[in-house]
A and B are shown apart, each in its own frame.
Chain A
Amino acid sequence: ETGVTQSPTHLIKTRGQQVTLRCSSQSGHNTVSWYQQALGQGPQFIFQYYREEENGRGNFPPRFSGLQFPNYSSELNVNALELDDSALYLCASSLVLAGGHNEQFFGPGTRLTVL
């Protein structure tokens, strides 16, 4: 176990709805990254938060947004859900240090199904 938790485990929504996914990072970590993993594919980077600020974003539309809180937990919000948003959403936490590598520890994921 990595110490990274995510909720909920599974979620079913319909097209057009909004969803909020939550992540609690590993103790001592200051950075949270979110990834979307479609079935049979590798994870795709959505965005990263460092000290409550967005620190890089992948090729996802603005309806994907996020927050990081002072305790370094994080939320991923997706508005106007589309069928293609059905995927496993992974949260990864890491401790970013100057000159260090960015080993990321993944949570168990939230399986989102959009009908």
Chain B
Amino acid sequence: GQNIDQPTEMTATEGAIVQINCTYQTSGFNGLFWYQQHAGEAPTFLSYNVLDGLEEKGRFSSFLSRSKGYSYLLLKELQMKDSASYLCAVGSNTGKLIFGQGTTLQVKP
């Protein structure tokens, strides 16, 4: 079966660091994607990991361990505009994306 788990909600303080975890069990694997989605808007691409390790892109970093079926998204120097839903998605061999339910992050002053 296909299963992707991530926390439903998280709260963090402006300027802090937050880590959003994602675990997955899927029948195929062609990369792990993270998307950001503000309320009422489309998901926007943040990161892609296909090999184990850390990918850094500015304030955002993403980590993958394929053997553990685990990824995390790390957000540094949090800003109020980072309040959004963060979607973990596994790319399948057929090209579709399998999404988790999303983690709603609230950044407080």
B-binding residues in A (CB < 8 A): 2, 4, 31, 33, 35, 40-45, 48, 50, 55-56, 58, 90, 92, 94, 96, 101-109
Chain B CB within 10 A, most for which of A31, A33, A43: A43
Contact with A along B73-96 (1 / 0, CB 8 A): 000000000000001010100111
Chosen A-B contacts, 20 in total, with CB atoms closer than 8 Å, are: A33-B96, A33-B97, A40-B102, A42-B101, A42-B102, A43-B43, A45-B96, A45-B98, A55-B95, A56-B96, A90-B42, A101-B30, A101-B91, A102-B31, A102-B91, A102-B95, A103-B45, A104-B97, A107-B42, A108-B41
CA distance A35 to B37 in the complex (A): 14
Closest to B103 in A: A42
B31 neighbours in A (Cβ, 8 Å) = 101-102
Determine whether the beta carbon of B95 is less than 8 Å from that of A33: yes
CA distance A100 to B41 in the complex (A): 27
Q: Shortest beta-carbon distance, B91 to chain A, in Å?
A: 6
How many interface residues does chain B have, given as a range? 20 to 34
Closest to B96 in A: A45
Determine whether the beta carbon of B102 is less than 8 Å from that of A56: no
Determine whether the beta carbon of B45 is less than 8 Å from that of A48: no
A-binding residues in B (CB < 8 A): 4, 30-31, 33, 35, 41-45, 48, 50, 87, 89, 91, 94-102
B50 neighbours in A (Cβ, 8 Å) = 101
A108 neighbours in B (Cβ, 8 Å) = 41-42
Determine whether the beta carbon of A44 is less than 8 Å from that of B95: no
Determine whether the beta carbon of A42 is less than 8 Å from that of B87: yes
Determine whether the beta carbon of B48 is less than 8 Å from that of A103: yes
Determine whether the beta carbon of A43 is less than 8 Å from that of B96: no
B4 neighbours in A (Cβ, 8 Å) = 42
B33 neighbours in A (Cβ, 8 Å) = 103
